[in-house]
Structure 1
Amino acid sequence: MVQVKICGLTNKEAIETAVEAGADFIGFVFARSKRQLTIKAASELADSVPSHVKKVGVFVNESLKTIQEISDKVGLDYVQLHGDESPAFCREIEMPVIKAFQVTSRADLEQIVLYDCAYYLLDSPAGKYRGGNGETFDWAMTKDHDFLDKKIILAGGLHSDNIAEAIKEVSPIGVDVSSGVETEGKKDVNKIKTFIQAAKKGDENGNL
């Protein structure tokens, strides 16, 4: 079944809702964003996440030292890199890496083969911040690429109304949502529950 990551969580209620609804990953943003957390806040929130749900820290062009320090203090399970990090930089990180790629053309997808990571996140082009912009990219671009040996997470503009189609088109191992479960810029517990249910159901429908 498709795995679901709810990203940009900033309060305990939203985390507990996501966990109870069946989220597989919880994302904490440490890069510049309206959802950015301090180490202290993230550490406190991390205590609300049970061990079977994996904690992901999102970074953009951050130093290796800072990534490691935050990972240790917060107790992250994965590091998600949303910047211009090189394959060599990813290899230096001592924990599993989710590398994000902003997909504007097929050439962006061709970069994936250069990386050796736990997951590869396909996202829409950047807006003011890297990720969380609520825009989709052309999913049809993935059709010409053989991702069978890669663990692909689909992101960018996903919400409960298009997630089934997205899963059918791309066949990702996981999906990632942030703005798609918000109302007026804040996480909406009802949208979180609805999205997770729709993603899990959409995966079942897509694989019948």
Structure 2
Amino acid sequence: MISSISLKQTTGSLAVVILLLIAFIGGCDTKSAVETAAGSPDSIAEVSHRAVVFKELVASNREDDNSITDLSFIDTNGDTVALKSFEGKQNVLLVFTRGFSGMLCPFCTTQTSRLIANYDEFKKRNTEVLLVYPGSTDQLPEFQQASRESTDLDAFPFPVLLDEDLAAVKKLGIAAHLAFPSTFLIDRMGNVRLSYVGSSPSDRPSIKALLEQIDAIPPN
């Protein structure tokens, strides 16, 4: 059980991350944004959202067994969200951002904005999007310093979750400075259909690629 102090710190840090994300994605051209090649230079400070192109063709680049569904995260209310709670109900698109280390990664914010813009397409396919932000409660002062005021948390149609102290990141072996950008597609029976770990900040599946992966799931 999370103590009240720890819970306050955890939800506070996650809320600030959401504030930052909304502030950054607010000006993105989400649906019509032109997607740089995934192998483009990763000079974070110089990246334009509209210049970002993610991979159109993807396949699993590692193997993960169904134990991935044992993972759980913390939502903005401080409640635990377990992947197993979706079994028998919905597919899950589990998206790990790189985390926060003093600035937000423009590839993360671009990816987030496109997931938001196309969320209805995922809903049509009975797929819930879970956006995971790896972070440590020790980063709370840095989060607060970088946060912006006035935003609308309802801008996110899907859950934004905190991987507190990178517990899931470490278990999955995707730790980098914080985390490699990673995407996992789990069908409603708990089977892993896609495991994709990016080799660089820009190496991520496009929306088109993700929808194609979902469409390829055999009917249960």
* TM-score, L = length of structure 2: 0.33
* TM-score, L = length of structure 1: 0.35
1 or 2 for the larger relative contact order (CA 8 Å, sep ≥6)? 2
